[in-house]
Structure 1
Amino acid sequence: MGVPGQKNTPQPPEELANSELFAVDAYRRSFDSTVLDVDHEQNRVALARTAFYPGGGGQPHDLGELRWDGGTAQVTKVKREADRIWHWLDTPEPPRSGIEVFGDIDWDRRHLLMRTHTALHILCGVIWSEYQIAVTGGNMEPGKGRLDFPLEGISTELGQRVERRINEEVERAREVVVDFMGRSEADLDPALIRTAANLIPKEIDPLRVIDIVGLDKVNGGTHVTSTADVGRVAVTGTSSKGKGNKRIRLEVSQYSSAVS
């Protein structure tokens, strides 16, 4: 299974493909499901399947709406806890267990996060290709993010060079593919080793791998299908956070995602 195409790699576990829809199709905007469990104390529900991304890898959780016969509520938080993904609802009366529901993702926000996440991994690939230095930390919000690298120095000129290189990679329209890689293979992949995928618990097999073909490879998150879909990227700041810790901030341009 891949987004957008398929490769000769392991298929996602059937349970994952049937329950975590975002893992196999980041462009899924809506879905139907059944309420598995209700936590009245926190006004949250667990669903049989969901397209809401629960957060992770620096990417925030999704927002959106759940509707059911006789009710509707905004989804204000999504988080994985143990083996379930919980959806916090802005309502004093969440749907009962067993109820059929229909979910809608806040697509404009999700798509902007996808573009931002892919832009950050383009930055990872550019820094690695230029300096053979791996990222050590980062964070993002819709439309903007930052990454830290153990560079010896940082400057406005370096930021300008990195911005130019990022946008060159955007214009190359590199394919971005979601693959599922067997654990024994993943643990030997140099690109995944440098992004610490080998620290993920061994029982997670196969790994879900995001491959910006020819540039960067990492585990996790939702992404656009081509670097061209990221749009124009601006490096908005470079700073030193101490010895061996230099920060690069970026923003992606705003545009409508109505057609995709």
Structure 2
Amino acid sequence: MTELAYQLDSYLQSIEARVAALDTETHAVQLDRTVIYPGGGGQPHDTGLLETPSQTYPVIKAKKIGGEAWHYLSPETPLPAVGNAVTVRVDWPRRYQLMRTHTAMHILCGVIYRDFGAHVTGGDMDPLKGRMDFEFENLSRDLISVIEEAVNREVEAARDVRVRILPREEAFQIPDLIRTKINLLPPEIAEIRTVELVGLDLQADGGTHVANTREVGRMRIVDYKSKGKINKRIYVEMED
């Protein structure tokens, strides 16, 4: 199983690894360890590079399949051999923007759950922008302004962001650990990674995050839409 080094240190930008397997049909390699996030939970995959003394391999996509992280390489480069040592480097500017964005989504989710008791019904993000759907029956421009002020107070509160990996039984003793309407965690997962915005939000989560809410920067709610009788979508952007 691939060691996912980013799970405990999202700021790790490179790591030494070995090629564990190849998929010549999709031009992908499996590594024994990685810093490249393979996507999931609404957060896009990272991009980056694999490097050897003689070759650089652009990583254009990554995906987790059955506990293994696969890195899809540019078809213009040959595949490295199984057993080769490689340096794995993440595209850091893009990754850091996604870290800020993902933490912003948790701030939004935490504020709306705390202040209105609304569950998340869906979400998606790109660097410095994202959207989340909530169980709201009514949503107005005035309420959007209230929410925007509240989320930016949480940014300025400089709340620490803490990551832990817990046994499944211990994790599910935490009240409201799953903030989505449906629990999407497969029953075979024995350990649960939790992300806590101290004093605001605590959820099961597999993505990458900044260490403090102040790093997110100012958040703007740029739009909102009705997606059903009790389903409203909120669009958020962060300053570059």
Corresponding letter in the other structure for 1:175: D
Classify 1:199/1:64 alpha carbon distance in 2 versus 1 (closer, same or farther; 3 Å): closer
Offset of 1:67 from its aligned partner? Answer: 1.1
Give the letter aligned to residue 144 of structure 2: G
**Equivalent residue number for residue 131 of structure 2:** 146
Separation (CA, whole Å) in 2 of partners of 1:170 and 1:156: 21
> Which residue number in structure 1 is paired with residue 213 of structure 2?
227
Q: Which residue of 2 aligns with 1:24?
A: 8
SS of match in other structure, 2:208: coil
Give the letter for the 1:200 counterpart. L
Q: In the alignment, what sits opposite 1:84? A: 68
In structure 2, C-alpha distance between the alignment counterparts of 1:101 and 1:197, rounded to whole Å: 39
Determine what percentage of the aligned residue pairs are the same residue. Answer: 46
Q: Is 1:120 the equivalent of 2:105?
A: yes
**How far has the Cα of 1:202 moved from its partner?**
3.2
Within-5 A mapping of 1:183-194 = 183-194=168-179
Confirm whether residue 103 of structure 1 aligns to residue 88 of structure 2.
Answer: yes
Task: Please state whether the residue corresponding to 1:147 is helix, strand or coil.
Answer: strand
Cα distance in 2 between the residues matched to 1:205 and 1:41: 32
Superposed, 1:1-260 pairs within 5 Å as 19-90=3-74, 91-195=76-180, 199-219=184-204, 220-254=206-240
Point out the more displaced range, 197-206 or 118-127: 197-206
| 1:221 aligned counterpart, secondary structure | coil
- CA offset at residue 104 of structure 1? 1.2
Q: Does structure 1 retain, via aligned residues, the 8 Å contact 2:119–2:181?
A: no
Give the superposition deviation at 1:20.
0.8
Code of the residue aligned with 2:149 in structure 1: it is: R
Contact 1:151 1:244 (8 Å CA) reproduced: yes
- Alpha-carbon deviations, 1:117-148, whole Å to 9, x = none? 00011000110111111111010000100000
Give the Cα separation in 2 of the matches to 1:65 and 1:87. 10
The secondary structure found in structure 2 opposite 1:190 is: coil
Hey, what's the Cα distance between the residues in 1 that align with 2:164 and 2:180?
16
- Deviation string, structure 1 residues 233-255 (Cα, Å, up to 9, x no partner): 1110111112111011100111x
Q: Please give the root-mean-square deviation of Cα atoms over the aligned residues, in Å.
A: 1.5
TM-score (normalizing by structure 2): 0.94
Given the two structures, how large is their TM-score scaled by the length of structure 1? Answer: 0.87
Which has the higher mean CA deviation after the structures are superposed, 54-63 or 91-100? Answer: 91-100
Q: Which residue of 2 aligns with 1:8?
A: none
Structure 1 runs not aligned, ≥5 long: 1-14, 255-260
1:199 to 1:60, Cα distance in 2 relative to 1, 3 A: closer
- Tell me how far 1:43 sits from its aligned partner: 1.0
* More strand, by proportion: 2
Report the secondary structure of 2:33's partner residue. coil
Which stretches in structure 2 are left out of the alignment for 5+ residues?
none
Answer whether contact 1:125 1:216 (CA < 8 A) is retained.
yes
